[in-house]
Amino acid sequence: MSFTEEIAKRRTFAIISHPDAGKTTLTEKLLLYGGAIHLAGSIKSRKAQRHAVSDWMEIEKQRGISVTSSVLQFDYAGCRINILDTPGHQDFSEDTYRTLMAVDSAVMVLDAAKGVEAQTKKLFKVCRERRIPIFTFINKLDRYGKVPLDLLDEVEKVLGIRAYPMNFPIGTDGKYLGVYDREKNLVELFAEDTSHGQTERISEIFSPNDAEVIKRIGQNNFDALQDDLMLLDEAGEKFDLDKINAGDLTPTFFGSAMTNFGVKNFLEEYLRLAPPPAPRLSDDGIIEPTDEKFSAFVFKIQANMNPAHRDRLAFIRICSGKFERNMNVWHAPSNKLVKLSQPQQFLAQERQIIEEAFPGDIVGLFDTGIFGIGDTLTDATHKFKFEDFPIFPPEKFARVQAKDTMKRKQFAKGIEQLTQEGAIQLFYPVGAGTDSYIVGTVGTLQFEVLQYRLKSEYNVDILLTMLPFEVARWLKYEDDSKVTPATLRGADRGMFVLDRKENPVLIVENEWSLGWIGDNNPKLLMNATPFDNA
């Protein structure tokens, strides 16, 4: 297969949703239909049953939520599929935002009973700003929910994107019998789910005018379907692939990931419509995937995926050129050549060494500590940097120290590792000893994960004291003179700390305190993220 053909077969996407909309369950079922697994687990499963493949951390299995993105790769219908299953909880939105930098499209999962929820709006906004094509899967049709037409209307009004239903459910609320495929003009009727979603759902395909359809679904359901389809044809949006690729129209599918209702059709239609690897913006212009010179960027770092080996992996998205095992590439931050040995591809925690990969693929690299999130890797003959990753200001703060001072070394190593992963932001109190840190996060649940991972991965129990601060600002004077607690009027209204690069940061309780400090320090500049030259 040629280089361009390899690129054309890649589909790299993230699955996004509000917590508990069924995102990870849908991921599991795509793996089931793709042949990557043979028995699907369930996020809500009992301890005796299997957990979802994509939730590999022990804390994820215990809490029933995703707290870090998983990378899942498999082949289906002539395509190489790279799925990035992201956390839905808003406290882990940083990880999700970074993951969205590495994909070419997104699948938005909605709960049929709840419609568009708060976190869905935030994630959708990020996709819209990046003009990422969005495919919508309206989930949980096996339960009572909103009327399908009302759900389509809600997507359009709340999110501001037009929806084109690729299929439409047949039946009544919570008791849907099948779907009508608008593109193929076919009816798919499903057999009863007898495996509780653990195996593929049996279905039969009919012409919509087949007498067997009316016999199975009943005249009332048939008439209701005809009325809804007529309304969609007359007043609904027209199918337009250009609008889909521009992120202005979302192809919408109805189904139930839990019972495998409509999942296979969704997978096949997504692969048919979704875009192949897209160009990427750099400081040297647009980098096309067909450029034969290699380039990639690091979008995720994960430690201890295999606790027995205490390994650290950097996940890269290949943007151009062919990746080959043991190749030497230029690493932008260090301005050095590095050897990419032992490259791996993943099915969540399971992995295998690979010899080559192509644009669109996600590859894991063993990392000794040289890689950071957002780092660019390129061919040594064409050096450039991809666009910077967004940085999110912390909103919750805590003082953290080891309970046992004899484990100070393990404690420091664990804190440093989680900081490099982007799971927390680390600060040092000015004038304090070195036995404690100030940790900043976007949400409070991240502190629970911090505490859990330090205990399980580094055998360190910690003392965690929440602080009353919710606003952080990086500081500098207009004349670039040094900012210190002594020169800053009102420093005692908050806590003066330094970030990992020793840049001064002030954390305060609220915006009012921040305003007072700004008014009383007229030459002070304050920024929600580090200054460009910091």
Same domain, 266 and 293: no
pLDDT at 51 over 50: no
- Confidence band of 41 (pLDDT split at 50, 70, 90): very low
Any domain includes 214: no
Using N-to-C axis directions, what is the helix angle for 93-100 and 118-129, rounded to 10°?
30
Identify the residue with better confidence: 45 or 506.
506
pLDDT of residue 53: 45
Same domain, 38 and 155: yes
Per DSSP, the residues of 396-462 read EEEEEEESSGGGHHHHHHHHHHHHHHTSSEEEEETTS-SSEEEEEESSTHHHHHHHHHHHHHH---E
Same domain, 263 and 350: no
pLDDT of residue 350: 65
What span, in angstroms and rounded, lies between the C-alpha atoms of 21 and 23?
6
Same domain, 122 and 258: yes
Element (H, E) at 299: strand 295-303
Same domain, 244 and 366: no
What span, in angstroms and rounded, lies between the C-alpha atoms of 412 and 434?
10
pLDDT of residue 68: 44
Same domain, 129 and 254: yes
Instruction: Compute the average pLDDT of residues 342-363.
Output: 81
Instruction: Compute the average pLDDT of residues 283-310.
Output: 84
- Confidence band of 87 (pLDDT split at 50, 70, 90): low
**CATH number of the domain residue 406 falls in:** 3.30.70.3280
Identify the residue with better confidence: 30 or 63.
30
Q: Which residue range forms the structural domain that includes residue 503?
A: 396-527
pLDDT at 295 over 60: yes
Identify the residue with better confidence: 120 or 6.
6
pLDDT of residue 89: 44
pLDDT of residue 91: 46
pLDDT at 318 over 80: yes
pLDDT at 344 over 90: no
List, for residues 502-522, the tens digit of each pLDDT value: 999 999 999 999 999 999 999
pLDDT of residue 304: 62
pLDDT of residue 69: 45
Strands annotated E in 198-335: 203-206, 249-254, 280-282, 285-287, 295-303, 312-320, 323-324, 327-331
Same domain, 425 and 302: no
Same domain, 403 and 469: yes
Percent of the chain with pLDDT over 70: 87
Same domain, 256 and 337: no
List, for residues 405-459, the tens digit of each pLDDT value: 889 898 988 888 788 777 788 999 887 556 789 999 877 877 887 888 888 888 8
Mean pLDDT of the chain: 85
Q: State which of 250, 273, 296 marks the end of a domain.
A: 273
Same domain, 255 and 285: no
Q: How many domains does the chain have?
A: 3
Same domain, 47 and 65: yes
What span, in angstroms and rounded, lies between the C-alpha atoms of 54 and 377?
27
0.95 surpassed by pTM: no
Any domain includes 145: yes
- Confidence band of 46 (pLDDT split at 50, 70, 90): very low
List, for residues 194-225, the tens digit of each pLDDT value: 776 677 778 899 999 899 999 999 999 999 99
Same domain, 469 and 356: no
Tell me the two tokens of residue 211.
């007498």
Strands annotated E in 8-60: 10-17
Q: Which of 125-134, 266-275, 491-500 has the lowest mean pLDDT?
A: 125-134
Tell me the two tokens of residue 378.
């390129």
Q: Which of 274-283, 414-423, 467-476 has the lowest mean pLDDT?
A: 414-423
